[in-house]
Structure 1
Amino acid sequence: MTSCALLETRRASTHDIPLDQRLSFWEQYNASILVGLKCSSYSNSGLVASQSNLELEGLSIALVKGNEHVVERDCSMIRSIPKESVFVSLVQVSRSFFYQGGGCTLLEPGELVIYRTDKPYLFGFSGNMRQYIFDIPQDLFQARCLERLDAPLKIGSETRLQRLLIRTLCDRTQGFFERPANQDAGGFEDDAFELLANIISGQTGERRVSAHSASYLLAAKRVIAEQLGDPGLSCEWVAAAVGISVRHLARLFALEGSSPGRYIGDKRMELAHRLLSSPQASGLDISEVAYRHGFSSQAHFARSFKARYGCTPSEARNAAGSQ
């Protein structure tokens, strides 16, 4: 696979399936790629639904569209098709209702519900629907988003900050779905986890960031992501691009326990490590990897890489090649 290749998008639709076979077809497809569930349709035209699926390194994403219907994952399904994931469901169209653990959650378009797949649940849609489902292994969700999830977590869009973060997640996901370039997958995954962590922490009260600050911080991170390969990228340059002072930029990153310089260095190192650990690294010179990711000195890159990952860039590349 070349660096400009697109990730494979798996797709399924009931449109060309005979009416009496649509529910079983939909259940079989979901069991094979998303989760085992039972589906019921209460539309006169039967179930009309489509789904697109992307598999990334740490998470999977599904875009589901359909008419009014209900899906249920009961105890028998959990036993026969076990799955220990956390689903983040972002409902974009249609009101919906969600049951798990004896409680009912009503969702409006633009709201999230986060729930575990190893507990029974029922999800219903009252009209034509569209939703993104982020499928995250429980241990990864615990490490990157929320340490403990015992009950469903609904996240509304009552505040300006939550609306901004959820809209950014929607836009970023939609853009990636339109062109899921292999070279962009790691960056998208990092952005998705970071946005989800901020959305969740804002709901649970673990972090309080104003909408004004969040918008500047998101803009700064987007500028950094676009310019990571430029050795001249600096805090001053980022601040000027966003339209704030260097001191203000530093205060924004301090809200997350970091600094602009550290964030830039961390992102450069993560991208370089991801490349060196991939099959594409076999023909690359280490100096090329260093300069491609904004390091002006190969020696400095090698020292920093070993300090962080416990191996040299060459050792990481060779290990990827042997695999």
Structure 2
Amino acid sequence: MKTGTLLDTRRATTDCVPLDQRLAFWEQYNASTLVGLRCSSYSETGFAASEDNLSLESMRVAHIVGNEHVIERDGSMIRAVPKASVFVSLVTGSASFFFQNGNCHLLEPGELMVYRTDKPYLFGFSGPMHKFIFDIPQEVFASHCLSRFETALKISAHTGTQRLLMRTLAERTRGFFEQPLSQDAGNYQDDSLELLGNIIAGQVGQRRINALSASYLLAAKQCIMEQLADPTLSCERIAAQTGVSTRHLARLFALEDTKPHRFIMEKRLQRAYRLLNSEQVRGLDISEVAYRQGFTSQAHFARAFKAHYGQTPSEVRAIALEKL
């Protein structure tokens, strides 16, 4: 089992709250942590729920378990507790329904609901509920998923590719909540946003890829992410570990309009940028940052970083140190 520092997890549960105070407690907690809402319970035994919340660099993730209830975010709540995010709810447990903009969606366990929090909505659960919520700022959602998003989107796993991607998202999210290590947070966030981008693009018809190709591509990306710090990492090695030829590997990445070596470079630069903006940068010089991400030349790292981010590593590090 991995060891390291765990992310701070905010947790709320109604277990020790008197029955007549649980709804008010739940509304207050969510207004301060996730989103302002009103909650109604139709359970004969009273409302019961628990929630875990993790804050990552560019998004938040919540894990919620509860019994049958309905939540509502109306116009008055939007004005009182504004929030400009896109929520992606991965619903398991019992069937549920979602209403927004005059449209009602019936959801079966395992389906996704994508919706904006600056528009009124109603979400109801007819029995024991269990869901993950990906709380993504609208500008982050626009850059990773859909550039324009106005109408709520229900996503079902009708194809093998969607089933694979959604199952992978659920498994990685479940595993991360079980052990939310700080050193894994950046990779988990990047993986989740990439998976969500592929899932949503597949739903709206912007990306065509079959289940077999998707599985090989996921495997290749996982191999790359596990070996980014190795300067000898090569496309030939990744192809061999994935079980495909280098030519087939190139075709897989071409499905996403990129190339294996470009993907490796972008992920190394993203990790370097995250490190330069973190508290870990204290006491590190630029050459150490470059080395940790698999670069053998500081000059090459500096040129690639400047071309990608428009700032030098030293400039980003200096700004970060001023804020610490």
Residue 289 of structure 2 corresponds to which residue in structure 1?
289
Task: Tell me the CA shift for residue 300 of structure 1.
Answer: 1.6
Aligned equivalents of 1:25, 1:103: Cα separation in 2: 30
2:144 is aligned with 1:141: no
Task: Tell me the CA shift for residue 315 of structure 1.
Answer: 2.6
Aligned equivalents of 1:116, 1:304: Cα separation in 2: 36
DSSP-derived class of the 1:264 partner: helix
> Structure 2 unaligned runs (5+)?
none
Aligned equivalents of 1:181, 1:298: Cα separation in 2: 29
Aligned equivalents of 1:157, 1:307: Cα separation in 2: 39
Aligned equivalents of 1:267, 1:116: Cα separation in 2: 29
Cα deviation 1:71-124 (Å, max 9, x = unaligned): 111121112111111110000211101111111100011100101111111111
DSSP-derived class of the 2:282 partner: helix
Aligned equivalents of 1:217, 1:268: Cα separation in 2: 18
CA contact (8 A) 1:27 1:39 kept: yes
Residue 131 of structure 1 corresponds to which residue in structure 2?
131
Task: Tell me the CA shift for residue 40 of structure 1.
Answer: 0.7
Residue 214 of structure 1 corresponds to which residue in structure 2?
214
Task: Give the TM-score, by structure 2 length.
Answer: 0.96
Q: What amino acid does structure 2 have at the position aligned with 1:9?
A: T
Aligned equivalents of 1:311, 1:85: Cα separation in 2: 28
In the alignment of these two chains, the number of paired residues is: 321
Task: Tell me the CA shift for residue 312 of structure 1.
Answer: 2.7
Cα deviation 1:172-200 (Å, max 9, x = unaligned): 11111112122221111111111011000
Task: Tell me the CA shift for residue 293 of structure 1.
Answer: 0.9
Aligned equivalents of 1:311, 1:102: Cα separation in 2: 46
DSSP-derived class of the 1:45 partner: coil
Q: What amino acid does structure 2 have at the position aligned with 1:143?
A: S
Residue 299 of structure 2 corresponds to which residue in structure 1?
299
Q: What amino acid does structure 1 have at the position aligned with 2:156?
A: G
- Which deviates the most, 242-251 or 3-12? 3-12
- Which deviates the most, 141-150 or 163-172? 141-150
DSSP-derived class of the 1:283 partner: coil
CA contact (8 A) 1:282 1:317 kept: no
2:244 is aligned with 1:244: yes
Residue 76 of structure 2 corresponds to which residue in structure 1?
76
Task: Tell me the CA shift for residue 310 of structure 1.
Answer: 2.9
Aligned equivalents of 2:31, 2:289: Cα separation in 1: 40
Trace 1:190-209 onto structure 2 (pairs within 5 A). 190-209=190-209
Trace 1:111-126 onto structure 2 (pairs within 5 A). 111-126=111-126
Task: Tell me the CA shift for residue 311 of structure 1.
Answer: 3.0
Aligned equivalents of 1:150, 1:305: Cα separation in 2: 34
Task: Give the TM-score, by structure 1 length.
Answer: 0.97
Aligned equivalents of 2:311, 2:38: Cα separation in 1: 48
Task: Tell me the CA shift for residue 314 of structure 1.
Answer: 2.5
Aligned equivalents of 1:298, 1:97: Cα separation in 2: 54
- Which deviates the most, 285-294 or 242-251? 285-294
Residue 170 of structure 2 corresponds to which residue in structure 1?
170
Residue 188 of structure 1 corresponds to which residue in structure 2?
188
